[in-house]
Amino acid sequence: MQFYLDDDRELQRSSTRELLEKESALPESRATMEETPEGYSKSLYAKLGELGYPGLLLSDEEGGMGAVAFAAVLQEMGRVALPGPFLDLALAVHVLSGCTGERAAHWLGRARAAEALVVLARSEDPTRSDAGTPAVRFENGRVRGTKTFVPFGAHAEALLVETLDGLALVEQPGSGWNAVDLTTLDHSQRFAEISFDEPAVLVADADRSAELLDDADRLGALGASALLLGLMERALEMTVSYTSERQAFGVPIGSFQALQHRCADMLLQVESARSAVYRAAWTEEHEPEEAPYLVSVAKAWAGPAARAVCGQAIQLHGGVGFTWEYDPHIFLKRAKTLEQFHGSTRSQLEAALTSAPGLDV
């Protein structure tokens, strides 16, 4: 499927690429993700906040731009393997916009401007990344329990904690969270296990929380799919450039037919993902009843496709592809992380089969 952005969204995409290539090129952002505790550039996120990026998923009346623009921006962020919690922040802003109360409104304003980091805390099972039925409770104005795989949780100023009783807003105590950093493959991301016995405000009851988190699951899967598309698109470009320059037997290795076939297979994976991602994004705006199925299809395809493309990029870079100094490993690690989060490939395949039109499962 050929899909073209309209003028406004194309301008958003191109301006995002220009900004990220200037402010978050890999040589600079690698030092940030590898050496700083927080793992991302707070100054860059402040600029993103000034430009309204965290509010992309809000309604038109609130200044949002819709799912297609969201996908286009996340694709560009994938191209530079942008470190940090942008997707998680955007999802928290979207969820906060559907919550009630003064504290929710306060943190919505701060998160939307990227003045504070707010993320969702959902998973409780350390053996799986998909969120399950919560055991954490909200009782007597406090949240008690433990959440794991909280994205950038140790550095967040507030958390939206899924509890059995609804969605609770927990502000970071003065002494900081009781957080344990989790060791992960992808050094551009940070995850923490956080134990709670903290004052909190219930900002959505159980029924409303379920609605908001269903939306967050779907939009998170769409955003992760767009990130994966950007990762594999850039990995392919790096590979074609390298094989066009690297010589063997006096000719570029890209002239060898066997390598051309592998690059062609990579291109097929990229373009198939592009069609799936933008079809899902368009449906989110225009045919929302079909969005759950098509978003699941996009995420179920993009995860394994990005892993395959980024893995091939390392192979086709030869021996240097395995070294820390070269960039391909960053793309592969990010792809493998995104494949597991925002709906693992297995869970998205199951969801796609369950919701497939005309298929009685």
Could you read off the pLDDT of 117-144 as tens digits, one per residue?
Answer: 999 999 998 877 777 788 899 999 999 9
Confidence at 2, pLDDT banded by 50, 70, 90: low
Indicate whether 86 and 145 sit together in one domain: no
Per residue in 54-73, pLDDT (tens digit) is: 999 998 888 899 999 999 99
Apex CA 357: angle with CA 352 and CA 358, to 5°?
125
Q: What is the pLDDT of residue 106?
A: 97
- Percent of the chain, pLDDT > 90? 76
Indicate whether 104 and 14 sit together in one domain: yes
- What would the mean pLDDT of 206-231 be, rounded to a whole number? 97
Name the 3-class secondary structure at 187. coil
Indicate whether 242 and 312 sit together in one domain: yes
Residue after which a domain boundary falls, among 96, 112, 128: 112
Contact 67, 219 (CB under 8 A): yes
- From the list 153, 302, 150, 300, the residue with the least C-alpha distance to 226 is 302
Q: What is the pLDDT of residue 131?
A: 78
Confidence at 218, pLDDT banded by 50, 70, 90: very high
Q: Let me know if residue 94 belongs to a domain.
A: yes
Q: Let me know if residue 1 belongs to a domain.
A: no
- pTM for this structure? 0.95
Residue after which a domain boundary falls, among 159, 187, 204: 204
Q: For residue 15, which amino acid is it? A: S
Q: Let me know if residue 2 belongs to a domain.
A: no
Confidence at 91, pLDDT banded by 50, 70, 90: very high
For residues 274 and 259, give the distance between their C-alpha atoms in angstroms, rounded to a whole number: 23
Count, residues in the chain: 361
Total count of domains within the chain: 3
Confidence at 360, pLDDT banded by 50, 70, 90: low
Residue that the structure tokens 């995850």 belong to: 191
The residue among 145 and 359 whose pLDDT is bigger is: 145
Q: What is the pLDDT of residue 1?
A: 59
CATH of the domain at 35: 1.10.540
Q: Let me know if residue 86 belongs to a domain.
A: yes
Indicate whether 86 and 215 sit together in one domain: no
Indicate whether 234 and 322 sit together in one domain: yes
Indicate whether 220 and 314 sit together in one domain: yes
Average pLDDT, the chain: 92
**Host domain of residue 79:** 7-112
Indicate whether 128 and 191 sit together in one domain: yes
Per residue in 14-52, pLDDT (tens digit) is: 999 999 999 988 888 888 888 888 899 999 999 999 999
Q: What is the pLDDT of residue 61?
A: 86
Burial of 210 (0-12, 13-18, 19+ CB in 10 A): middle
Indicate whether 335 and 228 sit together in one domain: yes
- Percent of the chain, pLDDT > 70? 98
Q: Let me know if residue 361 belongs to a domain.
A: no
Q: CB neighbours (10 Å) of residue 179?
A: 18
- What would the mean pLDDT of 212-238 be, rounded to a whole number? 97
CATH of the domain at 282: 1.20.140.10
CATH of the domain at 184: 2.40.110.10
Q: Let me know if residue 176 belongs to a domain.
A: yes
Indicate whether 93 and 124 sit together in one domain: no
Per residue in 145-196, pLDDT (tens digit) is: 999 999 999 999 999 999 999 999 999 998 778 899 998 888 889 999 999 9
Indicate whether 38 and 74 sit together in one domain: yes
Q: What is the pLDDT of residue 146?
A: 94
Indicate whether 107 and 84 sit together in one domain: yes
CA atoms within 13 A on the CB side of 336: 13
DSSP letter assigned to residue 159: E
Confidence at 350, pLDDT banded by 50, 70, 90: very high
Q: What is the pLDDT of residue 324?
A: 87
Q: Has residue 358 got a pLDDT over 80?
A: no
Residue after which a domain boundary falls, among 157, 184, 204: 204
DSSP letter assigned to residue 157: S
Indicate whether 217 and 297 sit together in one domain: yes
Contact 203, 97 (CB under 8 A): no
For residues 359 and 361, give the distance between their C-alpha atoms in angstroms, rounded to a whole number: 6
Q: Let me know if residue 59 belongs to a domain.
A: yes
Beta-strand runs (E) in 177-334: 178-182, 191-199, 201-205, 247-248, 251-252
Phi, psi of 330 (to 5 degrees): -65, -40
Residue that the structure tokens 């939009």 belong to: 219
For residues 54 and 150, give the distance between their C-alpha atoms in angstroms, rounded to a whole number: 18
